Structure 1
Amino acid sequence: MTFTLKTYIGQRGERFSLLFSSEDPGAPLFYPCAFISRRVRDTSTHQTQTTTLKGIQRLIEWERDRKVCLEEKLSRGVTLAPFEIDDLAGHVRGCRTAKKGEVISSQKFNGYWSSICKYIDWLTDELLPNRNSPHMRMLVEEQSRQLNSKTRKQTASRARQNQKILSTNISSTERTQLLILFESSLDSHHSAHLRHDSHAKKGVQLRNIVMLRILYETGMRRGELLSLKLKNFVEASGGEGAYLSIERNHDDEFDRRANQPVAKTLGRDVAISEDLESQIMKYITQYRAELNNVGLNPDSFIFCVHRSGKTQGTPITVNGFNSALNQLKNKHPALGKCQPHAFRHDWNYRFSQKADDLGMSETEEIEAREQQMGWVPASSMAKVYNQRHRREKALNLARKIAEDTKRPNK
């Protein structure tokens, strides 16, 4: 028996996921569905709901493999034994796609385990008879203690995680290749390797390059990029430069993608260069407009599927974006292992350099960074990125001090 997670879109745009068994694919599993509906749905995003169900899925897979029925046990007044909790934790920690014996990260395990603990606590409260008696309360408390004891200590401290953020950057080789790609799309004849490509291929190439350039120039997240609509692109006017408007868009009724890309941060406007403005206009008017079934109203998404077929003209998905990035990296090996979030880290590094050139105070820099990244005031992330630039300046100063030990020239 296998279990499947399926995602649906409600009439008003709400995303929700349900867990199904292969034995009865037409009806979702009752208790996981009830738990999500009653305890999770009203206070959590769809992504959180999905993560919760993935944890519960690992629990019911363990039940299947061990021939245990937790619902039946609890209904009889029997809680999980310590050895069962140990075995369950080992099952959840095992890595599904790797070689036997390999395990998932502590962070990932804790995410699944937290969902499992909350679900078991809820299920116990629902099914356990006489749960308010002193004896039953003792059993419930001991089960909860045993479950919580399996939460793993994080292998990396917060300081180490911040250090990893600070060291994430786009290499000079990758940056050079990106700038070449950005420049090549401005050429009306395209670069040499594109001159003989079909009109359709040129459209895909321009779309992919424009998406990367937006990430590079604005530091926005991938979900924010894929959520951009025609109305969010504002052309230069009256002496004001062009910009993109990022909106909070959870459960967008106009977005028919089941796994909806969403903006995790606050809404904001981000400036773009004149060259990028021209490239976006070129993509929208010369290539996007020719696609079948493409939306042309202000609420239509900018970046669409170009491949012929029934999905042509629909908004590109997260997987579609990842595939497009991989195609570019295969075609241009100099892009290396460049990942979407590296653009955000790199933008913050360049922002610090520019703030330094402009003589901005640290407070001014933090406030401006928070606004452009969509963070709330006093965000800890703004301080982390400021620390990155301070570290580099301190290193340069220390290097000059170290050079003072050189023997002076005669």
Structure 2
Amino acid sequence: MTFSIKSYIAKSGERFSLLFSADEPGIPLFYPSAFLSRRLRENNTHQTQLVGLDAIRRLCEWERDRGLCLEDRLLRGELLSNYQIDDLAAHVMVSRNNKRGESISAAKFNGYWHYITAYICWLTDELLPNRNNKDMRLLVNDQEKNLKNKNLKRTGSKARKNQLLLEEKLSEKARDKLLNIFSSPFQGVVGTENRATRLRSVLMLRILYETGMRRGELLSLKLKSFVEASGSESAFLIIERNHSDEYDRRVNQPVAKTLGRSVAISESLEAQLIEYRTNYRSEVPNIGFNDHDFIFCVHRRGKTQGNPLSINGFNSTFLYFRNLFPDLGNALHPHAFRHDWNYRFSLLADSKGLSEEKEAESRETLMGWNPGSDMAKVYNKRHRKAQAMQIGREIARDTERPQK
């Protein structure tokens, strides 16, 4: 028996997913669906709900492999033994990427285990007879404690992780190549039919580079999101919080994880966006021209032509583009643009003599972070690190002073 997760879009635009078994493919599993509806749906995004369902799917696979049913056990008044909890944790730890013996990371395990623990505790309170009996309550509390004790200690310190984040940026070679591609987007293109997808690819990367926005925010940009220059105001892009967007028919909806905001773009990028919208996007069959239609769409012929570009479509395009230009490096990934933007922002803030407070405020606004964001503090450490290095160099130069 296998288990599958299927995703749907409600008329309101809300995304939701359900867990099915192969035995009854047309009927979702009752208790996982009830848990999702009563505990996860209200305060969690669809992506978070999917992680929770994937965790419960692993629990269902364990039940299948061990020939037991947790629901039946609880109805008989039986809780999980310590051995079963250990065995379940070992099952969840195994990677599903077909490499025998390979384990998932501690962070990923803890993410799954959080939802498995929550589900088992919820199911226990739903089904266990005499659950409010004093002695039974002690056993229930012991089960919850034993489940929570299986959480793994994360490897590596948070400080080291933040330090690596602080130092991540594009190489000079990759940055030079990107700037060259941005200025000459059609280099190496053979055939006019390939110009549209090339310009679309270049524009997506250039927006990531110039604004530091996330991939989900990029794919959520609509025609109304692009505001051309007018009078003394330069062109900019509007990023909106878009969870459960009724106009977005992508089941796996790209979403903005940060706050809504407006971000400025260069005159050259503005001109390229106008060129793409006017000369290339407008020629795609089945394309929409209303304000709520998305800027970046599928150009390839087929049943999805004209649809908004999906996350998988973007990932495929990104990998193809990176392979096409090997000078960009194999380590280049979409989120690297966000790190590099923050690196370049720090350099500019230093050159303008911004105070730490002003630098943090500007960074939070442009990145869509809440005031006092921990991420802004992490990136602002670059300023203090640079100052410390300068002082260290001056102290080190004491050895260069001539002997008297």
TM-score computed with the length of structure 2 as normaliser:
0.97
Partner of 2:300: 307
Q: What's the Cα RMSD here?
A: 1.3
Aligned ranges for residues 2-401 of structure 1 at < 5 Å? 2-185=2-185, 190-191=186-187, 193-194=188-189, 197-336=190-329, 337-401=331-395
Cα distance in 2 between the residues matched to 1:182 and 1:26? 49
- Is the contact between residue 266 and residue 375 of structure 1 (CA under 8 Å) also seen in structure 2? yes
Matched residue of 2:362: which SS? helix
| Cα offset, 1:148, TM superposition | 0.7
Greater CA drift, 88-97 or 162-171: 162-171
| Cα offset, 1:394, TM superposition | 2.5
Which amino acid in the other structure matches residue 346 of structure 1?
Answer: D
Which amino acid in the other structure matches residue 216 of structure 1?
Answer: Y
| Cα offset, 1:408, TM superposition | 5.5
When the two structures are aligned, how many residues end up with a matched partner?
Answer: 402
Percent of residue pairs bearing the same amino acid type: 59
Cα distance in 1 between the residues matched to 2:394 and 2:217? 42
Q: Deviations over 1:109-129 (max 9, x none)?
A: 000000000000000001000
| Cα offset, 1:393, TM superposition | 3.7
Matched residue of 1:253: which SS? coil
Point out where structure 2 has 5 or more consecutive residues left out of the alignment.
Answer: none
The structure 1 segments of at least 4 consecutive aligned residues displaced by more than 4 Å after TM superposition are: none
TM-score computed with the length of structure 1 as normaliser:
0.96
| Cα offset, 1:160, TM superposition | 2.0
| Cα offset, 1:39, TM superposition | 1.1
- Is the contact between residue 350 and residue 383 of structure 2 (CA under 8 Å) also seen in structure 1? no
Q: Deviations over 1:284-303 (max 9, x none)?
A: 11111100111110100000
Cα distance in 1 between the residues matched to 2:394 and 2:132? 70
Q: 1:328 to 1:396 in 2, by over 3 A?
A: farther
Cα distance in 1 between the residues matched to 2:32 and 2:156? 32
Cα distance in 1 between the residues matched to 2:160 and 2:274? 42
Cα distance in 2 between the residues matched to 1:338 and 1:135? 57
Cα distance in 1 between the residues matched to 2:207 and 2:84? 50
Matched residue of 2:386: which SS? helix
Matched residue of 1:27: which SS? coil
| Cα offset, 1:159, TM superposition | 1.3
Q: Deviations over 1:145-193 (max 9, x none)?
A: 11011011111222122112112111111111111110112xxxx43x2
Point out where structure 1 has 5 or more consecutive residues left out of the alignment.
Answer: none
Which amino acid in the other structure matches residue 6 of structure 1?
Answer: K
Cα distance in 2 between the residues matched to 1:163 and 1:359? 23
